[in-house]
A and B are shown apart, each in its own frame.
Chain A
Amino acid sequence: MTQALAFLYNPHRFMAFSAWAAPLLGTLALGLAAAGLWLGFTAPEDYQQGDTVRIMFIHVPAAWMGLFVYLCLGGASFLSLIFRQALADAAARGAAPLGAVFTGLALATGSLWGKPMWGTWWVWDARLTSVLVLFLFYLAYMALRAAIDDEAKGARAAAILALVGLVNVPVVHWSVEWWNTLHQGRTVFAAGGSRAANVFLVPLFLMSLSYMAGFGALWLVRIRGEVWRRRAAAAEARLAR
Chain B
Amino acid sequence: MLDLDPGEYGLYIWTAYGLSAAGLAWLAVSSLAFARRWRRRAESLEARAAGEDGEGGHP
**A221 contacts B31, C-beta separation under 8 Å:** yes
Q: Considering only CB atoms and an 8 Å cut-off, how many residues of chain B contact the other chain?
A: 37
How far is it, in angstroms, between the C-alpha of A195 and the C-alpha of B48 when the chains are bound?
Answer: 62
Residue of B nearest to A44 (CB): B3
Contact of B28 among A38, A218, A229 (CB under 8 A): A218
Which residues of A in the span 34-51 have a Cβ within 8 Å of any Cβ on B? 38, 41-42, 45, 50-51
State the total of A-B contacts with C-beta under 8 angstroms. Answer: 110
From A113, A221, A231, B46 is in contact (CB under 8 Å) with A231
Which residues on the B side are within 8 Å of A55 (C-beta)?
A: 12-13, 16
Q: Is the interface of A mostly helix, strand, loop or mixed?
A: helix
**Size category of the binding interface on chain A:** 35 or more
Given contacts A97-B27, A218-B31, A221-B31, whether A232 and B16 have CB atoms under 8 Å apart is: no
Report B's interface with A, CB cutoff 8 A.
Answer: 1-4, 6-7, 9-10, 12-13, 15-17, 19-20, 23-24, 26-28, 30-32, 34-39, 41-42, 45-46, 48-49, 52-53
